[in-house]
Amino acid sequence: MNSYNLLVLLILQISIALFYSNPAVAANSKLFREYIGAEDKGVTFSDVPINSEVEFHFILSFAIDYTNSSSSRSPTNGDFRVYWDEGNLSSSHVSSIKTRHQNVKVAMSLGGDTIGDDNYHVYFSPKTINSWVRNAIHSITEISRKYNLDGIDIDYEHFDADPDTFAECIGQLLLFLKQNGVVSFASIAPYNDDSVQPHYLALWRKYGHLIDYVNFQFYAYKKGTTISQFLKYFHEQSSNYRGGKVLVSFGTDGSGGLSPENGFFEACRRLKHKGKLHGIFVWSADDSKEVGFPYEKQSQTLLASST
């Protein structure tokens, strides 16, 4: 081998070594996501600061398969209806924000914790797998096309069905929506609870290839979570959803977990240094509006920075 070939080989080996010694090159993301519209506080898309250097997802909250009568709330077996603040977050508002900001995409979230002012729990309660999937395909496709949506998020938190039934219903729905171009991305929003995690893990094991992001609710951990505890939780959940893009999160509603005031962004910087910051999401724009979205701005600045 002549000296030229030796030099080329040496340069190639050095390049490979540098690439693998800095996993941040491949793994970090500039994805920022925020739930919006669940609390009827009048928040609009244009209220929220949008950094042009990030990929920005609004997640409309929520579409729910329940009747809207406060006197007799009951599940509707996959027949979803819009429950977000349609007056301020209409289909024309979606079109407008996407036209003004080319880096913005809009998704809707299914389920959620409660419905109505009486905080009635929303249960995943299919009559049968086939009937639920059939109804969900029809209603979700209709809503997605009306609002020109890009993605879907699954955020059921109460269940009247076993994990395998949940996995089949949601998995078959996601398969149809993606194969037919109704949505281009999908996420799930689990949290660390023995009545919740088994359902999402069953879904992940069989249909994880259809799920682009795991919006893990780290703010569901107890208040006062430390940086070291937060990083431990992140690695535990990354192991549970192995191979998935687990996003970190905080709430602006006074919920738990590691707050921005107590080290959330330092934890993000540590993950970013290791190439493990797959994105940040926030619950929620409704709660952030009254204080001017300072942590949304800080999150996006961190994601957009090269260090």
Q: How far apart are CA 96 and CA 50, in angstroms?
A: 14
Other residues' Cβ atoms within 10 Å of the Cβ of residue 46? 13
Q: Indicate which residue of 55, 86, 157, 290 is catalytic.
A: 157
- Which runs of consecutive H residues, i.e. helices, occur in 42-162? 91-100, 129-147
Q: How far is CA 120 from CA 37, 65, 68, in A?
A: 17, 13, 11
Buried b (16+ CB within 10 A) or exposed e, 148-182: ebbbbbbbbbebebebebbbbbbbbbbbbbbeeeb
Other residues' Cβ atoms within 10 Å of the Cβ of residue 190? 26
Cβ(66)–Cβ(119) below 8 Å: no
Residues 6+ apart with CB under 8 A from 266: 227
At 60 the three-state DSSP class reads strand
Cβ(200)–Cβ(188) below 8 Å: yes
Considering only CA atoms, which of 80, 178, 175, 180 is closest in space to residue 126? 80
Number of Cα atoms under 13 Å in the Cβ half of residue 95? 7
Q: How would you class 251 by CB atoms within 10 Å of its CB: exposed for 0-12, middle for 13-18, buried for 19 or more?
A: buried
Considering only CA atoms, which of 176, 171, 165 is closest in space to residue 198? 165
Q: Is 157 an annotated catalytic residue?
A: yes
Local structure of residue 184 (DSSP, 8 states)? S
Active site residue ranges: 157
